[in-house]
Structure 1
Amino acid sequence: MIRVLLVDDEAMIRAGVRAILETDAGLEVVAEGADGRAAVDLARAHRPHVALLDIRMPRMDGLAAAEEIRRTAPATAVAILTTFDEDAYIERALAGGAAGFLLKAGDPRELLAGVRAVAEGAAYLAPRVARHVIDELSGGRMARGADARRRAAALTARERDVLALVGAGLSNADIGRRLYLVEGTVKSYVSSILQRLEVRNRVQAAVLAHEAGLVDRGA
């Protein structure tokens, strides 16, 4: 069972999101809150697998709460749920360690898929957000590609294999099955890769994997 913390300052939104989550028997909303400070406190108290946070909230916004949760409750993955898809929000959310960015106006199936992906250790961007990221990456691609290839070349062959699958959006469990490794070993590889590449999270590692040309176009 995937335990979810839901935090949004609008009760109607929380009720709607909770109703969607409850259609999946594998998801359980274990706590709800209405502001960023409550999000941090509830994450510490309930240790959910996923914290689903709105951006604009009183006392502490969702982006600041995401950073605090990742610092004080690192076992909890964070997904941002918002109506706002501006690049500045996306950049700050991902830089702060959020593993998912979902839009309230999106398909309910995207919400369920995103929560499951984040809980399994993968990264998930709503399709509209992914388009923003791709458009941003299109400028200066050659220079970034050269830098990404240089950084990836410093990894071992096995680390590059793992990085390529991270770039393809696979969870640690899926990577383990693909490479015939136990999940704990994959987790160690991912931690080492993040450290050696000097990136903060799987999303940034995935972007670098694409820029380095490690990810199959069909992935």
Structure 2
Amino acid sequence: MPDPKEPSEVVPKEPEIVMEGGTGTNVAIPVRINAGVKFTLLKNHFVAALEKDGDVMMLLLAPTDSAGQEGMTIQEMVEEVRKLMGAKEGDKEVADMETQLNSTVNSMSDPKKAGGGFNPMSIRIYVQQAFLYYRSAKKEDGTEEKELEYAFSLKADTSKLLGSIDLFTLDEIYFSVWKTNRKKVTDTMNMFMIEDFLKETAQA
């Protein structure tokens, strides 16, 4: 019988990764990144919180100087988001966002201009605040699964929106477009919900 103390007979024990507050496990711990950054996106200078957790990327953006913004068209904004995601032409998530922006601006446009070949995607806008949540992961069948959430607070050029109103003169138009259920985001971006306001005043 071999001596159990012989080095050649000793089987090394598998190392364990000990997680705080739990037992040992061999499950890999994903690398997480949280940083404050300044960069140029959507033709504007932004300060942002950037968080990356595995294959999930989140950006919460706020312009550093809204008064000095260059402005851009909605079409240019869509193209910037497409580049950020690395999305191809016809990507469903970006196409859905483009449709929503198009519909929102169209609903505020002057009907006379709309009938004259007006293109809502040509409206010049100024980004006040933005939230982007992008997740890309490989499925078991090898295809890529994408998820995009967004929220934009925008200021628009009034010269191409809404016809003249007798009661007052429009100086600026602010509007928000979002596809997210994250209440923290909508609260932070001061998205004014008329229905919520009416409910609160009715209960007061």
> Is the pair's TM-score, using the shorter chain for normalization, greater than 0.5?
no
* TM-score for the superposition, normalised by structure 2: 0.26
* TM-score for the superposition, normalised by structure 1: 0.25
The structure where helix makes up a greater share of residues is: 1
The structure where strand makes up a greater share of residues is: 2
